[in-house]
């Protein structure tokens, strides 16, 4: 085995050398930077995946994607055996291996193997998937070469969405209990549950089974086509931005959420539900244009409240004693948090950005709904809760209504990709709830009113100087910045703002909300300017709109 390690490290230096001394860190969702800087990182992540597989004695996933970032970026997300993001303690190992010089790589790996007491004689299995970026095939080859060099077995799924790869990993590691680890198995599971929940009626009340789908010119479009083939009699999905333009360019979930406007490439159809997914189809947002041509966004907060309230309704109707909770981040609109706590009366928690944080918090509930405002989220159902639901669904002693609600809940759980946020599964869940309630999209929007908000990016010399606490709501470095933000926020009615370094782009993100859009815009700009001034901004300070 020692020989395999020696030759794998020799290949690293010869074929996948670390060209420059640029340091790279495991961020919000893995490594992410210019694709041209990633070859050695991806090869080394192939090696790391083999080590992780040996430790966990399970299949590990490696997804090559930079998700919402521009086409020229790329990245890698590592998937743990139960579909979670890579365990946090291993993020440090990943960074250490990625940043090791070619000469020190063998020593770094030896040290890790020794410290973690890894039995190198164990088998290793790695699933690999990639998005549609032109840089992705070569990076996937680098991963495959590394896994093979260390004696691991690879299954290459080619172009898939990130949540599909998470699903395959879980199916494999639970011996098919969660479904079949194939694209067909994935589409079969989602479409079967969806059709069962919808029954024969495709329309209901104000609900019309018609939707426009923005695929962000990425993998979401082609996978939606495959899903559409299974459900076409139940839902009419018109697909746009399916690869004819640049990935994520003026389209996709991130563009729509941040710019608060409809994407290019999707014809306006008044009052028709539209969705945008991101570059690897793990996020989704809804929106529509009303008769007055006004754009309305229904983001992750809206999806969370819709799903949580429906799960709650079914839990109550089936008389099950299950605790349900909702997890958000600081980006959640203040109105959504109020609505969840005061109207829905559901416990709500706030954690730092990154699905890895939300997922773990959601697992503390029997049914944990988690969503970032950017549309990234899912529902986690504890094993014990699933068993209780299954038991109630087949309990002849229960009243018919109770039993039928439990049956519906059971099928709804089947429609969820519990492993991670999944744009396709989330879309079918939303469609199911709207259909069940006979709602059009305006009914959904009417549940509460969002506070106007604005997001901005500030480029500074080193974004690591910004440090935060309290689920990123308070800034503790550089000194004085939080006090300045507090002073600015005080000037705005219901004002709220925070800043944090992005973990996927080289920028500092600014979020602000207030009672009017012009106030939210101005608050964001004032805070962005404070960041620029105190934290080493590059270029001109952001302009602050006049009062």
d(CA 94, CA 281): 25
Catalytic residue among 53, 67, 191, 336: 67
Task: Please say whether the beta carbons of 406 and 414 come within 8 A.
Answer: no
Our CB check for ligand G16 shows the closer of 299 and 372 to be: 372
CA gyration radius, the chain: 23
With contacts defined by CB under 6 A, name the span among 137-145, 370-378, 408-416, 536-544 that binds ligand G16. Answer: 370-378
Copy the structure tokens of residue 252.
């996709």
Task: Please say whether the beta carbons of 389 and 319 come within 8 A.
Answer: no
Least separation in angstroms between residue 427's CB and ligand G16 is: 16
DSSP string spanning 232-250? Answer: TTT-EEEEE-SSSS-TTTT
Our CB check for ligand G16 shows the closer of 59 and 67 to be: 67
**Number of C-beta neighbours around residue 447 at 10 A:** 16
Strand partners, 475: 468
504 has binding-site annotation: yes
Helix (H, G, I), strand (E, B) or coil at 380: strand
103 has binding-site annotation: no
502 lines the binding site for ligand G16 (CB under 6 A): yes
Task: Using CB under 6 A, pick the residue from 84, 505, 513, 526 that binds ligand G16.
Answer: 505
* CB contact set of 121 (below 8 Å; sequence gap of 6+): 1
Spacing of C-alpha 391 from chain mean position: 32
503 lines the binding site for ligand G16 (CB under 6 A): yes
Task: Using CB under 6 A, pick the residue from 304, 307, 355, 393 that binds ligand G16.
Answer: 355
With contacts defined by CB under 6 A, name the span among 52-60, 368-376, 384-392, 524-532 that binds ligand G16. Answer: 368-376
Helical residues (DSSP H) of 327-478, grouped into ranges:
334-338, 355-362, 383-393, 400-415, 423-437, 441-445
74 lines the binding site for ligand G16 (CB under 6 A): no
d(CA 187, CA 228): 9
With contacts defined by CB under 6 A, name the span among 34-42, 129-137, 500-508, 539-547 that binds ligand G16. Answer: 500-508
343 has binding-site annotation: no
374 lines the binding site for ligand G16 (CB under 6 A): yes
Residue 442 half-sphere exposure, CB side, CA atoms within 13 Å? 9
318 has binding-site annotation: no
* Interface of this chain with ligand G16, residues 177 to 196, rule: CB under 6 A: none
Size of site (CB under 6 A) for ligand G16: 18
Active site residue 67: yes
Q: Which residue numbers belong to the known binding site for substrate?
A: 372-374, 500-504, 509
Q: Which residue numbers belong to the known binding site?
A: 67, 278, 280, 282, 372-374, 500-504, 509
Catalytic residues: 67
Site residues (vs ligand G16, CB under 6 A): 28-29, 67-68, 278, 282-283, 353-355, 372, 374, 376, 502-505, 509
């Amino acid at each position: 085995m020692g020989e395999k390690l020696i030759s794998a490290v020799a290949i690293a230096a010869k074929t996948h050398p670390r060209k420059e001394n640029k340091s790279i860190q495991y961020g919000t969702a893995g490594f992410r930077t210019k694709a041209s800087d990633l070859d050695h990182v991806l090869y080394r992540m192939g090696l790391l995946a083999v080590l992780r597989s040996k430790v966990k004695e399970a299949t590990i996933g490696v997804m090559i994607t930079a998700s919402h970032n521009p086409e020229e970026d790329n990245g890698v997300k590592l998937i743990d055996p139960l579909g979670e993001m890579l365990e946090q303690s291993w993020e440090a190992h990943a960074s250490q291996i990625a940043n090791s010089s070619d000469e020190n790589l063998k020593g770094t790996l030896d040290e890790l193997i020794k410290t973690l007491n890894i039995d190198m004689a164990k088998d290793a299995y790695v699933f690999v998937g990639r998005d549609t970026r032109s840089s992705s095939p070569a990076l996937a080859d680098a991963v495959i070469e590394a896994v093979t060099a260390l004696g691991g077995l690879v299954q290459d799924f080619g172009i898939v969405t990130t949540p599909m790869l998470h699903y395959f990993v879980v199916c494999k590691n639970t011996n098919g209990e969660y479904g079949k680890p194939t694209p067909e198995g994935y589409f079969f599971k989602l479409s079967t549950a969806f059709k069962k929940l919808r029954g024969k009626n495709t329309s209901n009340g104000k609900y019309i089974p018609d939707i426009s789908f923005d695929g962000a010119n990425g993998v979401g479009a082609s996978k939606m086509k495959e899903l559409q083939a299974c459900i076409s009699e139940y839902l009419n999905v018109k697909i746009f931005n399916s690869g004819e333009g640049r990935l994520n360019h003026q389209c996709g979930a991130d563009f729509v959420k941040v710019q608060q406007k409809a994407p290019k490439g999707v014809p306006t159809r008044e009052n028709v539900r539209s969705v945008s997914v991101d570059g690897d189809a793990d996020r989704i947002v809804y929106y529509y244009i009303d008769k007055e041509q006004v754009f309305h966004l229904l983001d992750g907060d809206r999806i969370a409240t819709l799903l949580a309230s429906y799960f709650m309704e079914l839990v109550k109707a089936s008389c099950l004693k299950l605790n349900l909770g909702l997890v958000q981040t600081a980006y959640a609109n203040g109105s959504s948090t109020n609505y969840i706590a005061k109207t829905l009366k559901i416990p709500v928690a706030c954690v730092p950005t990154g699905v890895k944080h939300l997922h773990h918090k959601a697992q503390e509930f029997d049914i944990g709904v988690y969503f970032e405002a950017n549309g990234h989220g899912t529902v986690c159902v504890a094993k014990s809760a699933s068993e209780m639901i299954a038991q109630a669904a087949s309990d002849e002693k229960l009243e018919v209504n109770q039993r039928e609600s439990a049956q519906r809940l059971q099928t709804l759980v089947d429609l969820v990709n519990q492993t991670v946020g999944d744009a396709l599964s989330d879309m079918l869940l939303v469609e199911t709830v709207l259909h069940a309630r006979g709602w059009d999209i305006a009914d959904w929007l009417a549940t509460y009113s969002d506070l106007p908000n604005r997001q901005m990016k500030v480029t500074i010399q080193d974004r690591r100087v910004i440090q935060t606490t309290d689920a990123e709501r308070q800034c503790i470095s550089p000194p004085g910045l939080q006090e300045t933000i507090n002073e600015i926020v005080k000037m705005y009615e219901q004002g709220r703002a925070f800043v944090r370094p992005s973990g996927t782009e080289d920028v500092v993100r600014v979020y602000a909300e207030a009672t009017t859009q012009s106030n939210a815009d101005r608050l964001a700009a004032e805070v962005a300017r404070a960041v620029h001034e105190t934290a080493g901004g590059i270029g001109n300070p952001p302009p602050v709109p006049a009062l």
